[in-house]
Amino acid sequence: MKHAAKLARRVLDYACTLTKPGVTTDEVDTAVHEALIDAGAYPSPLNYVGFPKSLCSSINEVICHGIPDTRPLEFGDIVSFDVSCFVNGVHGDNCATIIVGDEQEIDEIGTDWRGVPYLGSKFFDGRRPDDETSIRSARRLVHAARESLYTAINKIGPGSCLTDIGAAVQDVADSYGYSTVEKYRGHGISSDFHRPPFVKHYRNDDKLELVPGMIFTIEPMLVEGAGECFEWSDQWTVATTDGGMAAQFEHTVLITESGVEILTVPE
């Protein structure tokens, strides 16, 4: 599991480095597919219940399960990449959200999830005021989604309860004025891609004690408006009903004797 998780993270980081204005998610998907095959793994999403690609790429109002396509990415797009792989009989799974083209310098929020500083205010010189407003709004949403993930992780360990995760995510979402999507959940993972326990990212009453050896994903999805969503006609892409922007982060975690270990961290 640790090997599969590390590989999934390494390829996720690789996908994010490729994401520039003008690049298509189809091109990122091809690169992810080749990287996983070269590493002796198989992309878990490919042909999973008919999913046609090796990568989930969800842009702007798309919450999850977006199918890579030929639309060139634009500066300021919010893109969530979900990279999963099957290797040595088990699956690794993780997700992160980035803002296309937003990197380098320092900003009031600081650095993004990869440790890359955001573009500073000087970058916006000569651009439309709407560009700066939309980027700063996107940063806040992405920052909140990442914060909700780590807040939830910091709340758990042996003897804690599954409900602690949903409560932590909800607290962060509420503090920012965002909604947390209730329809989709984290999940247990090993030889099966998805298995119990299923992890809700909102306040709930799923009483389950967490014990050493449990491995599951935590993958909160935060949205700007209401948490309602709908599925496109492709039967996969899930978008917000009101057009609000969405962001998601995901780690695979292991409950240990003394706490919790994040398996999908950089090597």
- Binding residue ranges for a divalent metal cation: 82, 93, 187, 219, 250
Specify binding-site residues: 65, 82, 93, 187, 194, 219, 250
DSSP the chain: -HHHHHHHHHHHHHHHHH--TT-BHHHHHHHHHHHHHHTT-EETTTTGGG--SSSEEEETTEEE-PPP-SPBP-TT-EEEEEEEEEETTEEEEEEEEEETT--SS--SS-B-TTSPBPP-GGGGTTS-HHHHHHHHHHHHHHHHHHHHHHHHHHT--TT-BTHHHHHHHHHHHHHHT-EE--S--EEE-SSSSSEEEEE-SSS-----B--TT-EEEE--EEESS-S-EEE-TTSS-EEETT---EEE-BEEEEE-SSSEEESS---
Specify binding-site residues for substrate: 65, 194
